[in-house]
Structure 1
Amino acid sequence: MHTFRAMNTEFVTQGLSEAEQGEAESWFAFVEKHLTRFDPGSELSRLNRSAGRPFMATPILFEAVSVAVDYYHWADGVFNPFLGQLLTDLGYGRSFGETAAEEEVSSQEPDRTEANARLLGAFGPEIGAKLNPLLRSIELPPAWSVDLGGIAKGWSAEKFAGMMCRKGIAHGAVSAGGDMMLWGGEDRPQQVNIADPFALDRDMDSLVIRRNAGVATSSRLKRKWLDGEGQERHHILDPRTMMPSLTDVVQATVIHPSLTAAEVYAKCLLILGLQAGAAWLERKHPAAAAVLVCEDGSVCTAGFIEAYRQENGKEAG
């Protein structure tokens, strides 16, 4: 097992040689340099400062933003990568590695009523950002700000796993802050534990992965803070209200052949809540399965989770 830090989280790889471990560290450092919104010198930060005019992007930024826009449509707008400025205004302007959880934000929260009203009316079937694949240019509407925090780790881990597969690495895994891409499990099953969101030192369930799959967990209990008025905020925003989501689901774990999809859909389930979220996942994304933890501590499932739980000798919930 090989561990290192990048993108302000812990990465873990398994099944790689020392040279390939070095490739992993270089790749995720490269991704961070381009896609973080917390570094004012990153390419993403330069894109956000250029809102209102075309920005000539590097291949990695253009691909990442293009994928994020695709998921905006596939998730019916419940996943929205254009709320970066709103997150900053709510107090999430620094990485959680730079500030303690639940630290009170010292600055007064600006009045975003008018701006939020404009944003609420800005998103629909045709999103306002203009992407030109021939020129590799991105033009954001004025005041829009891209936040790839809900997709970049999973997308980059999935990309890296693909690189390793093409090199002939038959079995392996990469974890980006706990979101994992696993491959080669057909003849070498891999166990994935799901943490209890109310007691992080304890696992509440475990799954056995026997196929290439991504496993992502999103929780509204993890990254939270107090704003200037003492109100608790968290980083999962509901694009329908432009406020932190508040549903009966506090943690969602999604399994999907794509880690990028798993990461996005886990956040969507937190926003939609148990009943609407489970129905949405099963209707629109049948390749996904989910384990959902509710506020009262109950655990529910959605999708074809039985394949993973029964293999582990457990009855489906």
Structure 2
Amino acid sequence: MTTAFPALGTTAELLVTDPARLGAALAVLREELAAIDAACSRFRPDSEISRLHEAAGREVRVGPLLAEALAVALRAARLTDGVVDPTVGAAVRALGYDRDFALVAADRHTSVSNVANESFGTAEVANDSFAASFGRAPGWHRVLFDPVRRLVVLPRGVHLDLGATAKALAADRAARRIHAAAGCGTLVNLGGDLRAAGPPPDGGWLVALGDDHAAAVTRPDATVALHRDGALATSGTTRRRWRHGGRTVHHIVDPRTGDVPEARWRTVTVAAKSTVDANTASTAAIVLGAGAPAWLERRHLPARLTGVDGDVVTTPGWPGEREAA
């Protein structure tokens, strides 16, 4: 049994092996998504992370969920040597991604700061003379964080973007809670960030892969099986794209430059034990470009990388897949 609904600027999909438990499972998922949005959304002035930005330069005690999300983001930065860095917030905003896409789509022509893209298609910035001022991200190491006491000092001028890792964290948390509460197998899919928990259906959860996670079900590039307590995450540059400064840009930023990375991969899907780890690796791979396959292989992470020209590279351990006809 499955259900889907809009959440976190993308589509949330929930599957359970016991149809009778879908209602209870859905309630848990909605609760988790509402909590992560209230803690981590940079588009909500009332979110906890927005209040943290307002208190820049001062010591702030944050709530348990934001502390967990911040710890996850800083761990991702540490494990990738800063290739995935939460301090890219200012760079992402400078590129024009300063509002939730769902809101921007309804008001895309009102001002230069309000333009981005919908799930499909590309939006034009109202004034291409408005160009981003690129520069290296401040760096994750500048964020002072005591995870035990949940104390944070965010330096002035440093803007956090926890979007990717926070969404992956939500998938991990929700799948674990749903399995514990419902007692059946479950699969949570948040815009291509997937986490399975509990006994899967016979043959595993069949996951359709493609440039567009919403269209992949009917037009998959390939299909793989996800088994008990596994995770997959796909990062790509084909959906969240818009025009800015006379060129096409997207939502993944290279912290080393503050700009979008050189185009090598269209999508990267990584399998890992947690959605957070899979998402961290898939995002890093987009930024690393040509060096991504070797980087993933050294970390023993199975992955499928689709190049901008359509070439497909897999790393050792990637599961057997059924190619689309």
TM exceeding 0.5: yes
CA contact (8 A) 1:89 1:109 kept: no
Q: Distance in 2 between matches of 1:172 and 1:27?
A: 15
Q: Distance in 2 between matches of 1:11 and 1:111?
A: 32
Shift in Å, 1:231? 1.6
Q: 1:238 to 1:313 in 2, by over 3 A?
A: closer
Shift in Å, 1:206? 0.7
CA contact (8 A) 1:81 1:150 kept: no
Relative to structure 2, which stretch is displaced further, 57-66 or 24-33? 24-33
Task: Give the aligned residue type for 2:315.
Answer: A
For the pair 1:209 / 2:229, whether they are aligned, the reply is: no
Shift in Å, 1:196? 4.3
Partner of 1:60: 65
Q: 1:111 to 1:161 in 2, by over 3 A?
A: closer
Q: 1:82 to 1:196 in 2, by over 3 A?
A: closer
For the pair 1:81 / 2:86, whether they are aligned, the reply is: yes
Q: Distance in 1 between matches of 2:150 and 2:126?
A: 39
Aligned 1:160-239 pairs, distance under 5 A: 160-167=174-181, 169-185=183-199, 188=202, 189-196=204-211, 202-227=219-244, 229-239=245-255
For the pair 1:106 / 2:120, whether they are aligned, the reply is: no
Query: For each residue in 1:33-54, what CA deviation from the matched residue of structure 2 results, as whole angstroms up to 9, or x when unmatched?
Result: 1111111111111112222221
Equivalent position SS for 2:270: strand
Shift in Å, 1:197? 5.7
Segments of 5+ residues of structure 2 without an aligned counterpart are: 106-116
Query: For each residue in 1:55-89, what CA deviation from the matched residue of structure 2 results, as whole angstroms up to 9, or x when unmatched?
Result: 22111101100111011001111101111111111
Partner of 2:276: 260
Equivalent position SS for 2:221: strand
Task: Give the aligned residue type for 1:231.
Answer: R
Q: Distance in 2 between matches of 1:78 and 1:297?
A: 24
Equivalent position SS for 2:163: coil
Query: For each residue in 1:123-161, what CA deviation from the matched residue of structure 2 results, as whole angstroms up to 9, or x when unmatched?
Result: 38xx11111234311111211011011111111110111
Shift in Å, 1:110? 5.9
CA contact (8 A) 1:183 1:212 kept: yes
Segments of 5+ residues of structure 1 without an aligned counterpart are: none
Query: For each residue in 1:4-46, what CA deviation from the matched residue of structure 2 results, as whole angstroms up to 9, or x when unmatched?
Result: 2221222111114312211211221121111111111111111
Task: Give the aligned residue type for 1:30.
Answer: A
Q: Distance in 2 between matches of 1:186 and 1:224?
A: 35
Task: Give the aligned residue type for 1:248.
Answer: R
Aligned length: 299
Task: Give the aligned residue type for 2:205.
Answer: Q
Relative to structure 2, which stretch is displaced further, 92-101 or 164-173? 164-173
Q: Percent identity?
A: 29
Relative to structure 2, which stretch is displaced further, 86-95 or 14-23? 14-23
For the pair 1:20 / 2:20, whether they are aligned, the reply is: no
Question: For the aligned residues, what is the CA RMSD?
Answer: 2.2
CA contact (8 A) 2:211 2:236 kept: no
Q: Distance in 1 between matches of 2:286 and 2:235?
A: 8
Partner of 1:133: 147
Q: 1:203 to 1:139 in 2, by over 3 A?
A: same
Picking from 149, 154, 163, the partner of 1:149 is 163
Q: Distance in 2 between matches of 1:165 and 1:196?
A: 29
